[in-house]
Amino acid sequence: MKKILIFCLIVCSLSRLEAQEQGVQFQELTFQEALNKAKAENKLVFVDCYTSWCGPCKYMLNNVFVLPEVGAFFNEHFVNVKYDMEQGEGRYLNGRFHVRSYPTFLMIRPDGAVQHRIVGSRKTENFMECVKRGAEERTSRYYLEKLYKEGKLDVEQRTLYRKSLEDAGDRDEVKALTGEEFKQLSDQEKCLPENWYLYDQDEVGPQDERFAYVLAHKADFDKQIGKKVVDKRLYDNYYGLLTGLKSNVQVDDLFAFLSKQLETVDFVGKEGILLSLHFVKAQNSQNIDDMLCLLEKDVQNLPHAFLWKAPFLDFIIEKGSEEQIARYVALEERMINALDNDKMKNITKEFFAKYRSKLN
């Protein structure tokens, strides 16, 4: 029995080693050594830019790079290396290639030029689509960006160039490119389903001309795209703008603009956006009475991102009267019941305990 157990352990260990060998083979090379080897083998250098604390980096290493089908492609087309961007040579490479977030994956030509960049962890299928796009020179950003700057991109290449920008997480560049495409279309073409990608972006916010175009032609978009899809895009863009605003920033002009714009359109979730708008306005101006009235009336209808902020409104405790603090503390149970996250419920209880103590 003991021998059988030992045999099973050996088999399992060998199986794990074999699985590891079938995945991506990262080599212990300096960056220059990797470039030299890539040139000798007519390959690209694939660089995994990671940090020790990055969860998504670990996900890619343990769930994607270990797969045999991924390893087969990578080991054939790349010299694979990985560097901790906070240690040793990684710190130099971080600056050289302007790595802004982790993980970042670089496909580098033997001369040191970046052929393609992928930012963020991804599911295997999507990741491999990005990788194969970057591994082929004519579909890589390196090639397409040259054509774009020369004004030589055809329709298919513009699509590929946009995808290469999305691979790299370059949202501002995507917004600029799609903005150019929008201006080249006729009114009839702007509402077609194949052009919905021009609007289906988080960066196309309420102050963008494309967003205004959707509002002005919502009936046409509802018919062509589907009301559910259009409503969700409007809600997400308003929601993203409001949740992204910093506290204690004077944005009266923006609130006036949004209030007027929201009067012109109806969509599913509009009530929650209006509540969020009033919440942010009251929070930013630290208007305690407005904040308390809003919470007392609509606390259960606030979107969760704003409801989560409610227990942290310290200015009510710091600047409020005893009566205002008492009204705030009285909201504790309603806030907790409106939350659907146990962790946030516990945090809310802790904060209100502090408020009750001050009130006493």
Q: Which residue has the higher pLDDT, 297 or 5?
A: 297
Max mean pLDDT among 115-129, 233-247, 268-282 falls in: 115-129
Strand partners, 82: 48
| Segments in 204-331 forming alpha helices (H) | 209-216, 218-224, 227-244, 252-262, 270-285, 288-298, 304-307, 314-319, 322-329
Angle subtended at Cα 86 by Cα 83 and Cα 87, rounded to the nearest 5 degrees: 65
pTM: 0.77
Alpha-carbon distances, residue 282 vs 137, 179, 294, 310 (angstroms): 53, 34, 9, 12
Mean pLDDT of 221-239: 96
Specify the pLDDT at position 20.
44
Q: Which residue has the higher pLDDT, 357 or 166?
A: 166
Specify the pLDDT at position 60.
97
Q: Looking at domain 31-150, which CATH architecture does it have? A: 3-Layer(aba) Sandwich (3.40)
The three-state secondary structure class of 315 is: helix
The three-state secondary structure class of 303 is: coil
Beta strands in the chain (DSSP E): 44-50, 78-84, 104-108, 114-119
The three-state secondary structure class of 164 is: helix
pLDDT at 19 over 70: no
Strand partners, 50: 84
Write the burial class of residue 7 (CB in 10 Å: 0-12 exposed, 13-18 middle, 19+ buried): exposed
Query: Do 158 and 177 touch, CB atoms closer than 8 A?
Result: yes
Specify the pLDDT at position 132.
97
Share of the chain above pLDDT 70, in %: 92
The rounded mean pLDDT for the chain is 89
Query: CA–CA separation, 7 vs 308, rounded Å?
Result: 54
Strands of the sheet containing 104-108, edge to edge, are 78-84, 44-50, 104-108, 114-119
The residue assigned the tokens 């009033």 is: 278
| Residue spans in the chain of domains classed CATH 3.40.30.10 | 31-150
pLDDT tens for 85-123 read 999 999 999 999 999 999 999 999 999 999 999 999 999
Query: In this structure, which long-range contacts are made by residues 318-324, counting pairs with CB atoms below 8 Å and at least 24 apart in sequence?
Result: 319/286, 319/288, 320/288, 322/359, 324/288, 324/289, 324/292
Query: Do 328 and 348 touch, CB atoms closer than 8 A?
Result: no
Q: Which residue has the higher pLDDT, 17 or 292?
A: 292
